Structure 1
């Protein structure tokens, strides 16, 4: 019995040492990443406009880009197609009532910029210049009658656009905005 306990103890110690050695080893995949490479992917825009790049665009400039890059999915004037509508006067009244669009649902205009820059066009995300993204954002805001047809959007003006549904969200971490 005494030998059996010793054998079990020795096996346990050996297993623990082997596990510790395996944890300490790494697969040596990849390479360390530098700050410049991280910065290229750190493109988040906060609701207050923090992170917005230089550049600007008007609804008229955005209409041209929309016709070339967006109409096939989002339909004429953003009214919907294979992809969701971007423009609508429809109101939502509750969590499941009506189609959510930029005007009736999105809380911040800066989020529109962030999403377009990050994910559009669907077939080629992150391919638009900052000026093109500002122009598309201005076009969508103007089509939703949230800004004037000749208002330019840039890092100073975009965060000032008051979205109709802004106050209908509960911000879970307000200190992070």
Structure 2
């Protein structure tokens, strides 16, 4: 049952509402027996499975299919410093210059020096104490120029260039940096023979105080 107790303390009236039960512990016992909300309950494996059962995984999930050789070839396009991975075909600097003006100059400038994006051609690359990095003074391997253009350029349509266009652009940029004869076609045989000025400035990571990458 419930009742109200009124007490006069000086000029202050205190009204307290009291609740009574048959046993003082009854309310606490009833609250303890109520089910906890879902967010307070421990997570249980689905379908009554044990935790150990949920840790095992099937070898296959039953969807998808193996990639075809053609699909793998579309993605397996990396080119190594020694030229392994370069495709057949060729391109020259004159062809590359026309492609550059159409698809590259908007980001790198008309001559590869103006920007607004990365500078590609060496010129006045010393600004105070800071050296501006370009292909001709920083990139260690000529094959990397081909590899990067083919997989990442142009910025708004990466992967859209043909191998001939990439060879042409590579020939043009190497020629603009004074590293290639613009009259000679560039191909998988002669591109790896170009020695970049910065090649000897890069050394293999020979540290042994952590995970070794070879």
Instruction: Indicate the TM-score class for this superposition, using the shorter chain for normalisation.
Output: 0.7 to 0.9
1:88 matches 2:122: yes
TM-score of the pair, normalised by structure 2: 0.67
Look up the match of 2:69.
35
1:16 matches 2:52: yes
Which has more radius of gyration?
A: 2
In the alignment, the residues of structure 1 paired with residue 59 and residue 173 of structure 2 have an alpha-carbon distance, to the nearest angstrom, of 52
Look up the match of 2:209.
none
Deviations 1:79-131 (A, max 9, x none): 13221110013567xxx941111011100100000000001111101111111
In the alignment, the residues of structure 2 paired with residue 53 and residue 91 of structure 1 have an alpha-carbon distance, to the nearest angstrom, of 33
TM-score of the pair, normalised by structure 1: 0.80
Tell me if the contact between 1:59 and 1:136 (Cα under 8 Å) persists in the aligned partners. Answer: yes
1:133 matches 2:169: no
In the alignment, the residues of structure 2 paired with residue 160 and residue 18 of structure 1 have an alpha-carbon distance, to the nearest angstrom, of 56
Cα drift, residue 28 of structure 1: 4.5
Higher helix share: 1
In the alignment, the residues of structure 2 paired with residue 55 and residue 25 of structure 1 have an alpha-carbon distance, to the nearest angstrom, of 42
Look up the match of 1:57.
91
Unmatched segments (≥5 aa) in structure 2: 1-44, 207-212
Look up the match of 2:35.
none
Tell me how many residue pairs correspond in the alignment. 159
1:71 to 88, 100, 105: 105
Cα drift, residue 172 of structure 1: 3.3
Aligned Cα RMSD in Å?
Answer: 2.5
Moved beyond 3 Å, runs of 4+: 25-30, 89-92
In the alignment, the residues of structure 1 paired with residue 186 and residue 194 of structure 2 have an alpha-carbon distance, to the nearest angstrom, of 9
